[in-house]
Structure 1
Amino acid sequence: MLLLLLISSAFLLPWAGAGRIIGGQVVKHHSRPYMAYLHIQFGNQSGIHTSRCGGFLIGPDAVLSAAHCVDKEGTVNITVILGAHNISVRERSQQRIPVARWDIHPDYSPVGYINDIVLLKLKTKARINEYVKSIFIPRSYEYVRAGTKCMVAGWGWMSWAGHSSDVMMEVEQEVQEEKPCEHLFHNYRCQSMMCVGDEKSRKAPYNGDSGGPLVCNQKAHGIVSYGLEKNLFPKVFTRISYFEPWIRRQLMRFALQELPGSPSSD
């Protein structure tokens, strides 16, 4: 469930194209109703391309994901699939909704995946039901301690060979101290990033899992961001609590744009 994107200087691999959860297990059907599958189509001089990412619903028309998933050259079109277990078939539970717009964090940098977060506004509101529900995000003062066990789900690669999963997989991950990531990643920032993954477990998100949530204590505390291509441990996640004020401001903007007479309400 990780995304493939190689940074030549540090061999970083952001999970934004297709991915699997290595060492994971199949999720119980529709037990993660907040999960979103992002189908991304972009066109440039070399033609039309597609990629896939994870995401998660935080409101009826709002999905969080990783900025590097949508940071593409040329024309970009995104469709969000909610309520999915097997994304290779049209399940009756699925809702396929185009994305009307998206706001990448203004200080996002693809070098080191700094501020790797994007908020997507759906063209129509999702129908909230047993298959589709939003998940809470933490407040700015909420942190998870090292040693906390969390879950990551997605449709990313299930091995280094590049075989992605059609059904949602999940894996347990442990929040780590900052030192391993500070040692491995030159641009690691403890305020806005989380160091996650147990060296002994041999389990991790991978290509195609980018943008998916790290769920700890029933809240989405992190977003799958990047890691080393051949190392399962550790991985870097975007720390959602750090961006909570920005997220709230963007959600308010979305709401104001829906008011009659607003520039985007027509």
Structure 2
Amino acid sequence: MLLLLLLASAFLLLPWAGAGRIIGGWEAKPHSRPYMAYLSIQSESGRHRSKCGGFLIRPDAVLSAAHCVAGKKKVNITVTLGAHNINKNEPSQQVFHVGHWVIHPKYSGYTSENDITLLKLKPRAKLTKSVSYIPFASHKERVEPGTMCQVAGWGRTSMPGDVTSVLMEVDLKVQRENICEESFKNYLQQSMICIGDENGKKSTFHGILAAH
């Protein structure tokens, strides 16, 4: 199974954050990814709720996926930092109610181009051992085919399967350009990579970006 990962041109190498499915993986070491953010998105009526992942890029900003919030003007967004088990009130957790976010002006829901959004945190996050920035790579750094990516997130561990409340992770390999082009009609080499497992036993489903 192959997975298409979307990369903003400004961010060429980013660890994954997703609140969808981590299949064939294992529980991450608690707080080993202090940049991870958990997003809970609830409609104003309270009838609909979705979840996404993200990562802290500075004390007042979280980077996430545009598809998580696009077209959802009247929603309540809660961001949780410093979490391992999102169903527990852990002392390390910091919770924020987001009132403002910005979607990339050239985001396309059809092609998934520029699938990024920035959420403003107020007040600013307090940096601790469990909450810190994501490590950025050099703008000249490339993710070559064969590179093993570490993908992490909360959610289901199979399709449909069981739901886990703890952060999970899995290793997936970056595929060659020709395989990506054959597998995804909207694949763009400049801003996307695709990863997968040759045996089809490991995967992710939904969420946002990955590669670490």
What TM-score results when the alignment is normalised by the length of structure 1? 0.69
Q: Paired residue for 2:210, among 184, 190, 214? A: 214
Indicate the residue corresponding to 1:33 in structure 2: 34
Once the two structures are aligned, what percentage of the paired residues are identical?
Answer: 54
Inter-partner Cα distance in structure 2 for 1:132 and 1:17: 17
Inter-partner Cα distance in structure 2 for 1:130 and 1:73: 33
1:58 to partner: Cα distance: 1.1
Indicate the residue corresponding to 2:122 in structure 1: 123
Contact in 2 for aligned 1:18/1:51 (Cα 8 Å): no
Inter-partner Cα distance in structure 1 for 2:211 and 2:196: 13
Unaligned runs of 5+ in 1: 1-15, 217-266
Contact in 2 for aligned 1:20/1:163 (Cα 8 Å): no
Higher Rg of the two aligned structures: 1
Indicate the residue corresponding to 1:156 in structure 2: 155
Deviations 1:61-117 (A, max 9, x none): 111111101113440221110010100111111100122311111110111211111
Output the aligned Cα RMSD. Answer: 2.0
Q: Which amino acid aligns with 1:134?
A: Y
- Name the SS for the 1:196 alignment partner: strand
Pairing 1:1-266 to 2, within 5 Å after superposition: 19-43=20-44, 48-200=47-199, 202-207=201-206, 210-211=207-208, 213-216=209-212
Contact in 2 for aligned 1:99/1:121 (Cα 8 Å): yes
**Larger RCO of the pair (alpha carbons < 8 Å, separation 6+):** 2
1:155 to partner: Cα distance: 0.3
Say if 1:162 and 1:113 are closer, same or farther in 2 by CA, change over 3 A: farther
Deviations 1:198-245 (A, max 9, x none): 2226211124xx12x4242xxxxxxxxxxxxxxxxxxxxxxxxxxxxx
Say if 1:107 and 1:214 are closer, same or farther in 2 by CA, change over 3 A: same
What TM-score results when the alignment is normalised by the length of structure 2? 0.85
Deviations 1:135-175 (A, max 9, x none): 12234322111111121111022111153320100001111
Structure number having the greater helix percentage: 1
- Size of the aligned set, in residue pairs, is 196
Contact in 2 for aligned 1:156/1:206 (Cα 8 Å): no
